């Protein structure tokens, strides 16, 4: 078993802190306190909070979002069934149900505050749209997805599912998410 590096520990804690409290609500002092790391050690790896968050986006947020929203495209499956499976997988992720999509939250918070962070988040959003559009194209070819522009429909699905994940914690649940995404699935069917 390999020992976790100081840098990795900082990125892991930064991911969780920014995810739960947002960029503005997370503080270097709290991250360092949780990590049990002196401030000088952080500056050895990152010159600023922003640099640490940018590294976190690239090395933690992007892989986690891609894993959570990963679509296994199978020639034998229907696109609607694949999306249904994806929504069921998302519904089992307690952090997503409780706190929403970390990419969406960071994009929303930083949209007018920081161009560099917004650009990184937007690039991942575009990746998700393009990946989902491939599934939609297959679904349209097979006749199980309605005839609409694939990228626009992919964007609608992502934004709608993010909305379903953005309910207040006392109104959010696995069951509520599945009920809300059922409407998305009904809408996209051919």
What CATH number does the domain containing 178 carry? 1.10.357.10
Cα(118)–Cα(128) distance, rounded to whole angstroms?
15
Q: Are residues 45 and 79 in the same domain?
A: no
Give the chain's domain count.
Answer: 2
Boundary residue ending a domain (13, 39, 60): 60
Q: Are residues 175 and 94 in the same domain?
A: yes
pTM of the model: 0.90
Boundary residue ending a domain (27, 60, 93): 60
- Could you read off the pLDDT of 6-36 as tens digits, one per residue? 999 999 999 999 999 999 999 999 999 999 9
- Could you read off the pLDDT of 31-88 as tens digits, one per residue? 999 999 998 889 999 999 999 999 999 999 999 999 888 888 777 889 999 999 999 9
Q: Name every residue whose Cβ is closer than 8 Å to that of residue 59 and which is 6 or more positions away in sequence.
A: 11
Q: Are residues 124 and 162 in the same domain?
A: yes
Cα(185)–Cα(137) distance, rounded to whole angstroms?
15
SS3 call for 136: helix
15-48 burial string, b = 16+ CB within 10 Å, else e? Answer: bbbbbeeebeebebeebbeebebeeebbeebbee
Question: For residue 145, what are the β-bridge partners?
Answer: 189
Q: Are residues 74 and 162 in the same domain?
A: yes
Cα(153)–Cα(38) distance, rounded to whole angstroms?
48
Q: Are residues 73 and 143 in the same domain?
A: yes
Q: Are residues 159 and 116 in the same domain?
A: yes
- Could you read off the pLDDT of 80-134 as tens digits, one per residue? 999 999 999 999 999 999 999 999 999 999 998 999 999 999 999 999 999 999 9
What pLDDT score was predicted for residue 74? 74
Q: Over 40-97, what HEC string results?
A: HHHHHHCCCHHHHHHHHHHHHHHHHHHHHCCCCCCCCCCHHHHHHHHHHHHHCCHHHH
Q: Name every residue whose Cβ is closer than 8 Å to that of residue 56 and which is 6 or more positions away in sequence.
A: 11, 14, 15, 18
The parent domain of residue 34 ranges over 1-60
pLDDT-based confidence at residue 1 (cuts at 50, 70, 90)? low
């Amino acid at each position: 078993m390999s020992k976790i590096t100081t840098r990795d520990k900082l990125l892991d804690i930064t991911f969780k802190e920014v995810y739960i409290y947002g960029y503005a609500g997370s503080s270097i002092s709290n991250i360092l306190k949780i990590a049990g790391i002196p401030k000088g050690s952080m500056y050895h790896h990152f010159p600023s909070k922003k640099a640490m968050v940018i590294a976190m986006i690239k090395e933690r947020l992007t892989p986690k979002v891609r894993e959570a929203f990963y679509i296994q495209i199978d020639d034998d499956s229907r696109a609607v069934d694949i999306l249904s499976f994806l929504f069921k997988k998302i519904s089992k992720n307690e952090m997503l149900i409780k706190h929403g999509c970390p990419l969406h939250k960071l994009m929303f918070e930083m949209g007018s505050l920081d161009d560099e962070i917004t650009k990184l988040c937007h690039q991942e959003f575009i990746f998700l749209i393009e990946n989902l559009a491939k599934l939609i194209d297959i679904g349209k070819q097979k006749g199980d997805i309605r005839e609409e522009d694939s990228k626009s429909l992919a964007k609608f699905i992502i934004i709608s599912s993010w909305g379903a994940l953005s309910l207040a914690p006392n109104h959010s649940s696995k069951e509520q998410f599945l009920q809300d995404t059922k409407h998305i699935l009904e809408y996209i069917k051919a």
